[in-house]
Structure 1
Amino acid sequence: MNAFQGQTFQMHQLINIKQVISITGLCRSTIYEMMDQDSPYYDPTFPKKVKITQNRIGWSAYEIHQWIESKLANRE
């Protein structure tokens, strides 16, 4: 199953937080909680952010896709 069905993206494309929210169905705060090692929601498998400029971050569209695929493969 392709989590990006109906969406166009480049494998090496960097996407912003709004796109990550749209693709994953997670809210902004949950995404940041999943990246926070001190949070009970921390997920070490969630893709790391990429610092684009001093004030802008993004995520690899490919890594987000792979993360979703791994969640689907490991479901019970």
Structure 2
Amino acid sequence: MREPERIIRLKTVLARTGLSRSTIYRKIAEGTFPAQLKISTNGTGWHESDIVSWIADPVAWRPKRELDEVR
């Protein structure tokens, strides 16, 4: 059985990527970083697998929907 996708918060994303908060939000706006998901009224997070993929190859990372459209 597959484990459910983990959601990580901004503090963890900052620590794993080494980017600043403003850089992360700028990159999200540019489409070069995974967008956050709304997890509650006032909370957001990221799929851990999206962040791991971005860390593995930040230059080649593209949003999943763009990859799906190409295929």
TM-score (normalizing by structure 1): 0.66
Higher share in helix: 2
Say yes or no: does 1:57 pair with 2:51.
no
* Equivalent position to 1:23, from 3, 16, 21: 16
AA partner of residue 13 (structure 2): V
Unaligned runs of 5+ in 1: 1-9, 37-41
AA aligned to 2:24 is I
CA RMSD of aligned residues (A): 2.3
Q: Identity over the aligned pairs, expressed in percent? A: 39
- Where does structure 1 differ by over 2 angstroms across 4 or more consecutive aligned residues? 71-74
The count of corresponding residues between Structure 1 and Structure 2 is: 59
Q: 1:63 to 1:22 in 2, by over 3 A?
A: same
TM-score (normalizing by structure 2): 0.70
Deviation at 1:50, TM superposition (A): 0.8
> Which shifted more, 63-72 or 53-62?
63-72
Tell me which residue corresponds to 2:27: 34
Distance apart, 1:45 and its partner CA: 3.6
